[in-house]
Structure 1
Amino acid sequence: MSKIGFIGLGIMGRPMAGHLLDAGHEIVTVEHHKPLPAELADKGAKALANPKAVAEASEIVITMVPDTPDVEQVLFGEGGVIEGLKPGTLVIDMSSIAPLATQEFAKRIHEAGGEYVDAPVSGGEGGAINAALTIMVGATQQGFERAKPILEVMGKTITHIGGHGDGQTCKVANQIVVALTIEAVAEGLLFASKAGADVAKVRESLLGGLAQSKILDVHGERMIKRTFDPGFRIRLHQKDLNLALEGARSLNLALPGTANAQQLFQACAAHGGADWDHAGILRALEALGDHEVGQ
């Protein structure tokens, strides 16, 4: 069993750290303004002063924080991981951040004597709770082999995509597909509702045909029941689509569907919905159509 530093105990990170504790690993984390979650403290997790102290106490450091600047601060800021990094420490970033920045972070960690793995995840809160996440890995072969037994505790599908940054590139692609599929589900259900059909029965029928998807299943139900508590927050999906659009500009690509989905998310945010679940994209479409699904 390993001594693991886990930094980032949010909606996703908390159950992920819990699975590692259940598997017999030791967990330390960073002290926050809020107390250490009781379900983790009761299993033996401990909080230390800063990321440096976490690194000093750990063989493996996992980060699961919101954005690129957050990862940079945790790793390289004052009192950061790199200040307490021991030779051979495995650093696994499971956040969703910029691929180019990831390559630079990997270089700095390697120069300091550590091994870096980018391992962003898909599957949302449910996947984290059920240890069924899809994990997309960018690493050396050695880094992947070291990280895989740890990742298997938290995820169901672990794929070594390629070198550093490739895991994050895969996650950006994932977020493009997810955003556009959520938008498609919202448009389909809105159309059916405005036309007077029973949207619950429409969804049930669609789940048996070519339109079937996990998003239609999970997020379609959210839309019909109007349960927009996150889940995965719109503001975080906006961040991921920003990465996609910035990357597309650098690659001289047009991603019109992605840009449109981003504008719909922005419309939600403008109406106070930045912290809605991303299924809340339906509300932006409802406003445009002056119709609420199910009404």
Structure 2
Amino acid sequence: MNMTRIGWIGLGNMGIPMAEQLLNAGYPVVVYNRSKAKEAALKNLGAGIAPSPRALLEETDVVIIMVSDDKAIQDIFDGEDGLLSAKTSNKILINMSTVSPKISKEMAERCKSVGSFYLDAPVSGSVKQAETGQLVIMVGGEEQVFQKVKPILDKLGKMTLLVGLNGAGNTAKLAINSLLALYAQGLAETVIFANKNGIETSDLLNLINNAALGNIFTKIKGEAIISDNYKAAFALKHIVKDLSLARDEGISSPLAKTAFDTFKSAEQTYGESDIIAIIKALD
């Protein structure tokens, strides 16, 4: 058994299969989640349950966080019985959430002030990649700290890359998700144009997926369009959040502006649906 004790905070669509990967790899895992019903699934697989982030940190060596946004991070670190209230040191906190570079830099400094370490390590990939350990992980932080936890991260992804100091992982993720938004809108507009001119969606996607433009995203989201299945693997509301964070970091290109406006206008109706539901808003 791997002896590094891992704490896990955040059991959403991505968090549950990622934590399962670590349990399957033999790591002792303790979990904390605001929704207690979700903890039960991990408990049945052998995970321990902590009553608070503070308690979780006190009984583990490495804590991994996978939540939705900056506010959730603030609550986990600074809330009642939050991580920063723990009387511990020499812990490693890995934030795998898609959040702002600003909050990662802030939390890294605050962890350092109490003798612990922080990495931002967001992921590229969706639920399927989380279930199979095939995520791409981009990390910001100190090289020495990164090397200590790389074996853990390698259980979650097919590629783990240190891209700079704290905040750099978040910046890389915002860049990738900006491209994701352009892919999604571009695919939706292409299908709509082809349909209006008599081309079947299945024929169009067969052509795309066998041409130089083919990629995993067009294959998966193309299948979703054909089957009219917009259950969220990556909710449309999250790309609005990510594009907003990218704007805060200075992205201002014509395509990025257009994508933000398009997804923002669709959020009220399709925010809980998958990102590719943008096709319904555009059609």
Taking structure 1 as the reference length, what is the TM-score of the superposition? Answer: 0.92
Whole-angstrom distance in 1 between the partners of 2:86 and 2:5: 14
SS at match of 1:35: helix
Output aligned runs, 1:84-103, within 5 Å. Answer: 84=86, 86-103=88-105
Taking structure 1 as reference, are residues 114 and 85 closer, same or farther at Cα in structure 2, changes over 3 Å only? farther
Secondary structure of the residue aligned to 2:155 is helix
Cα offset for 1:112?
0.8
Contact 1:85/1:114 (CA < 8 Å) preserved in 2? no
1:154-194 deviations in Å (ceiling 9; x for gaps): 11111110111000000000000100011111111111111
Q: 5+ unaligned residues in a row in structure 1: which ranges?
A: 287-295
Q: CA distance change for structure 1 residues 85 and 233 in 2, over 3 Å: closer, same or farther? A: farther
Worse-matched range after superposition: 218-227 or 173-182:
218-227
Give the aligned partner of residue 293 of structure 1: none
Matched, 1:40 2:36: no
How many equivalent pairs are there?
Answer: 281
1:227 aligns with 2:233: no
**1:267 deviation in Å?**
2.6
Out of 20, 30, 39, the residue aligned to residue 18 of structure 1 is 20
Structure 2 residue aligned with 1:166: 168
Q: Distance in 1 between matches of 2:41 and 2:158?
A: 23
Q: Partner of 1:147 in structure 2?
A: 149
1:236 CA drift (Å): 1.0
1:270 aligns with 2:268: yes
**Which amino acid letter does the alignment assign opposite residue 89 of structure 2?**
P
Aligned pairs for 1:194-273 (under 5 A) are 194-248=196-250, 254-271=252-269, 273=270
After superposing on structure 2, the runs of 4+ consecutive aligned residues of structure 1 that deviate more than 3 Å are: 31-34, 36-39
1:263 is displaced (CA, Å) by 2.0
Distance 2:204 2:223 in 1: 11
Q: CA deviation at 1:31?
A: 5.0
Task: Provide the C-alpha distance between the structure 2 equivalents of 1:177 and 1:17, rounded to a whole number of angstroms.
Answer: 27
Matched residues in 2 for 1:54 and 1:34: separation?
14
Seq. identity, %: 32
- What residue is the counterpart of 1:121 in the other structure? 123
Amino acid at match of 2:254: P
How far off its partner does 1:33 sit? 3.9
Does 1:283 find its partner at 2:277? no
Unmatched segments (≥5 aa) in structure 2: none
Give the equivalent residue in structure 2 for 1:187. Answer: 189
Is the 8 Å Cα contact of residues 240 and 267 (structure 2) preserved in structure 1?
no
Amino acid at match of 1:257: L
Residue 259 of structure 1: how far off its partner (Å): 2.1
Whether contact under 8 Å (2:120, 2:141) holds in the other structure is yes
The answer on 1:79 being equivalent to 2:81 is yes
Kept in 1, the 8 Å contact 2:39–2:49? The answer is: no
TM-score (norm 2): 0.95
How far is 1:110 from its partner? 1.0
* 1:87 and 1:113 in contact (8 A); partners too: yes
Partner in structure 2 of residue 7 of structure 1: 9
Query: 2: CA distance between counterparts of 1:244 and 1:62?
Result: 23
- Counterpart-to-counterpart distance in 2, 1:268 and 1:172: 20
Letter in 1 for 2:260: Q
Aligned residue runs from structure 1 range 63-78, under 5 A: 63-78=65-80
